[in-house]
Every structure is written in structure tokens, then in C-alpha cells.
Chains A and B, each alone.
Chain A
Amino acid sequence: MVTAISSLKRPFLALPFLLPSLSECAAFEFRRNQSSYRRTKQRLRVKPDASFGPSLNQFEDHIIYNPPSSTPSIYHTPTKFLPPDDIRRSLSTDASKNQDNTDGLPTVFKKPAEKKYHLTPSDIEEIRRLRLNDPMTWSRWKLAKRFDCSPMFIGMVCEASPEKKEIQKQVLEAVQSRWGRKRRMAREDRQLRKENWGRD
């Protein structure tokens, strides 16, 4: 008697298998899935490209070599890299040699850097003097703009004074101190991924 009362006291929702509507819902869902699966399969059943099948007008007796696109093998040395006495230089089948539309391809950088060699030794002395005397005004970018060269060249020619380096280090630390956990981890991960580029 006591057990019957307790079972009646239990909430009805705790026993979901007693609800008839839920099982119906599940069956409904299942049917929907099946129909959409069939429809998807029908849509994917496309006619293959004409080049895949045998052509009807002429009899072909050869092997169709149609490999999937992938990175070229490292072991296929480009023709330009072969030594002059190598017999493979005379082969004309190399894909790396004399590509037709090379000039039509866009470059990665906007304009290919052209070296001008226009700075004289006196200009370089001037660059060094400016950067050493007033490093806050004459940054690498400003010097590069004034002397019409790249900031990398400024870095090759002269070095910042130790005081400027110290200031820059403090600025960087101040910026990094405001980073949260996520940003810091993302930056570190990016650095690690960058190191893997050369390992590949």
C-alpha cells in the first residue's frame, strides 16, 4: 500500500516512456531524415564530365592518367636546378620549364621591389647620424621615406641606440601586459605555426 502511494506521488514527467506523443515525434523525425537523405542522394547523382568516360566517336587504346591535384614532389628537381651535364635537361616534358602564362599571374606583393642603388656613402652617414641623435623622430619608417629606400635597408645600415631599444622594449611590455589569456595564447600559437613553415 505504501509503495503504491509513493509511486503515485512521483511526478509524471520523470517517466518519459509513458508519454505516447514523444515516440510519435521520434518516428516523424526519422521519416523526415530518410526523405531528405534520398533527395540529397538524387541530387548528387550528377552526370560525370565528358572527359571521364570513353569518347564515342573515336576508338582509344591508352591509359588515362588523371591524378588528383596535389603538391608536386620534392624529388622532381626543376630543370633550372639540374647541373649542365645532366641528361634530364634535354627532356621537354618537365612541367616546371617555360610556363606560358607566367607574366599573367598576379604577384604576391603589390609591386616587385626594384633595387635602385642610389644612396651614396654620405647619405648613409647622414642616416646613421640622424638615427643616433634623434631616434624618437627618425624612426626606420621615416628614414626610409626620406631617403627613398626600404626600412630593411635602414636596419642593415645602422642600429638603434641602446636607450631607444630599452624604450621600445618597455612599450612592448606595456602593450603585452594588457593582453588577456586568449590573445596571448593565440599569439603564441601563431608564432609556433610560423616556425613550422620552414620545417614543413
Chain B
Amino acid sequence: MKRLQLLRWSSSALSPGFRTGSRLQRNVYAGLRHQSSASPALQAENESVTEEQPPGQPIRKLSPEEQRLHLPSPPIKAARESAKLAALHGRLYLPSRLPLETLARTLVDPSADPNPNFNNESLAILGHDLMTYYTSEHLLCTYPRLPLTVVFAAMFAYVGPKTLAAMTREWGVEYAAAPGGEVDPGLLQFKRMAPGTNLNTDTAISTTRPNPDRKSWRHSLSSRIVYDDEFGDITTESNTAVRGATPDQASASFVRAVMGAIYLHAGRPAAKRFFEQHFLSRHLNITELFNFSQPARDLSRLCAREDFEPPVARIISETGRKSRHPVFVVGIFSGKDKLGEGAGGSLMEARSKAAVAALKGWYLYSPLEVRVPSSTEENGAAPWKPVHVDLGEVIV
């Protein structure tokens, strides 16, 4: 009695056009073609014929497992069989409209599968744009006076590649040792970069920036706004398909692709909710991102610009002036109003810290009701009221 080979039936039920772009699949059929006259469309009939043929025949058919070995990334139907993938879907509380197949696709890096129909490149581009848009509007509306360098640093801290790599680890996504068709689709698949590869050879994407080959020239902040990416860095393009990707790059593109996939399958409100739950909920202490070189001078320039009285440093309290460890508490006053207060071991240190506190008080002003522009996209939303727009940071 002949056993039923269900796996073979299911593979033959797949139409040859199912993986249209897969070159390897086409190679398999091409190999069939020059050995036998069977066309791929007649594969089901052909299979029954080959079953009855005695072993030792030159015609060799690839079993589904062997076909998988030749694929660059797991086939689509493997997504339903993976426990890891279903667990990840449940753990992230993803909307049920996002199918497991798309989640499996987000885990395939372009370095593993160069075919754009099966890797996550397009989803990652969409997700990256959404994430940077939501982050920047949140930052600009919450803290309308932030200096631009701090905005860049905060953007990098919220949605930078290092953060996304950390999130991938927190989500419990593991890396596959090497990409391939037989790999569990719940693993992050990318071709690893060879050790010792120089990471600084990334070629800059051709921008409109004049003299792009002059690496040593200073990039002003205004030119970084116009020409460079959302983190203020030069947009580079690493040839990941050839060289492979680092785990950080692959993790970042995975998280971005998840965001893009949620937007495509579940819509804008779900994508926004996902962003708030996973990105904005991360605590970022913006006060630590500042670094002033001459805070007292900056503060006096600010007071002159805003028509306040010039700042005066006054000693509020002190102890142990003649001892080894004195403590001075200095406040900076403009007229009768106190702008900032700082304590330090010397008068200069206390004054400088008070000036830093005053400047941070200016830059970290936040309106009471923060509303972002994308909140008007919902149905029945209140009309947009302009937010506070500041003159900009102090330029000395």
C-alpha cells in the first residue's frame, strides 16, 4: 500500500507563480525542464509518474524540504507553522488584522533575501518615516524651545538604531545563525557581516549638499537640517546585500518594518497606538542632553534678546567659606524674579550651575495642553490650533 505524501501534495498545490520573483525556485524548474519534458504547470501529474519510476532513474525531484534549503528566506506557508512567530504576535499585542505572514516578512532583512517582494525593506522605509514623523511632532509640540542639537539627540534616543536594537532584544526576538529557507520564520534573518569589516566605508547617498566629498569640512547646523537625515547625520548607504548587515542594522529595520506593517494592515490609529505604547512610553531624561560651554554668557544674551533686566548672580546662602568644603547657593535674578538656582563648592561653580538651571528652565518650557498635528487626522477631531512657536535658541 502506498503512503500518502501530503507534504508533496501541498507543495504541488502551490502555483508556480506563487513565488514569482524567486530566482532559485525558477532555477529548480529550469533544472526540471532540461531533464524532462514536464512543464511546471503539470508538476502534479509529473509527480505521480516519478513515484512509480524505479530508483536509479536520472530524473531527480527535490522534496519540499530540499526546496526549502534552496530558498533564501522561509516560504510564506511556514509562517503558520512557527510557534515563535505566533508567540511574538501575541506578546507584542499586535492587532489581529496583521497576519502572521506579514510579521514573518518583517523579520527578513534585505541582506538575507535581496528580493524586494520578500524582504522587509519597503515596510521598514514606511515605518521609519512614520516613527520619525510622530517623534519629531511630539518633541516639537511638547518642548517648543528645544535647541536643535538637543532635538537631534532626542530623536536618536527615541527612534535611533541603537534604541531599536535594544527593543528587539526586549521583545525577545532572536537572531538566526544564517538565513535560509529551512530557518524558523520567527527568527530575525540577516546575513552577518564578516568580522573585521570597516564600517566607515559606507558611501554617502548623493544629496544636494555641495562638495559631498569634503569629509573634513564643518557641517553647520542649518545645513544639517536641510541636507542630512533626521538625526543630523550624513545619510549613508551601506551595501548590505553584498557585505551583510550588523545585528543592530537588522534589528532596526525589523522594528521599523513592524511599524510599517501595522500601519498598512490595521490603519493609522493602531499604528499611532503602537508608537505611543512602545516608543513614547520609554523614559528619556531630556535635561541630561544639554551641554553648555558658557552658560552665563548665553543667559545674558537671552535676557537681552527677550528684553528682560540683565541677570545678576546673588548669594542666597553659604556655609563654610573658609573651610575645605564650602557650599554656596547662588541664584540668578533678573530684576526681582529668580531665574535659576544652583549650589556648588565655589562661587563660580554655583553661578555657572545657576545659569545652566535658568537656561534649562527656558529651553524646557512645555505648554499645558500638548496637541500634535497628527491628532487632527482622526474623525471628528477638533480643528487645529497653532502651537507655541519660539524664536529659536540663543545664538552668541
Q: Interface on A for B, CB 8 Å cutoff?
A: 71-72, 74-83, 85-88, 95-99, 102, 105-109, 112, 194, 197-200
Contacts and interface: CB of A to CB of B under 8 A. Distances in A.
A153 to B, nearest CB: 14
B364 A72 contact: no
Given A74-B287, A198-B292, A199-B291, A83 B314 contact: no
A71 B343 contact: yes
B341 A102 contact: no
Given A198-B293, A200-B356, A71 B313 contact: no
Contact of A102 (B308, B336, B362, B364): B336
Contact of B315 (A72, A75, A108, A194): A108
A192 to B, nearest CB: 13
Contacts of B350: 108
Contacts of B287: 74
B364 A75 contact: yes
Nearest to B388: A83
Interface majority SS on B: helix, strand, loop or mixed?
mixed
A86 B368 CA distance: 8
Contacts of A71: 341-343, 357
Contacts of B337: 78-80, 96-99
23 contacts: A72-B340, A74-B287, A74-B357, A74-B360, A75-B364, A77-B361, A78-B337, A78-B339, A78-B358, A80-B339, A81-B339, A85-B388, A95-B338, A96-B339, A98-B337, A99-B333, A105-B315, A106-B315, A107-B315, A108-B315, A108-B350, A197-B295, A200-B356
Contact of A87 (B293, B357, B368): B368
Contact of B336 (A75, A98, A109): A98
B29 interface: no
Contacts of A79: 337
Interface string B284-299: 0001101111110000
A77 B364 contact: yes
Contact of B365 (A81, A109, A194, A199): A81
Given A71-B341, A74-B287, A102-B314, A200 B368 contact: no
Contacts of A86: 367-368
B50 to A, nearest CB: 73
Contacts of A87: 368
| Most A C-beta atoms less than 10 A away, residue of B287, B308, B337, B357 | B337
A185 B292 CA distance: 24
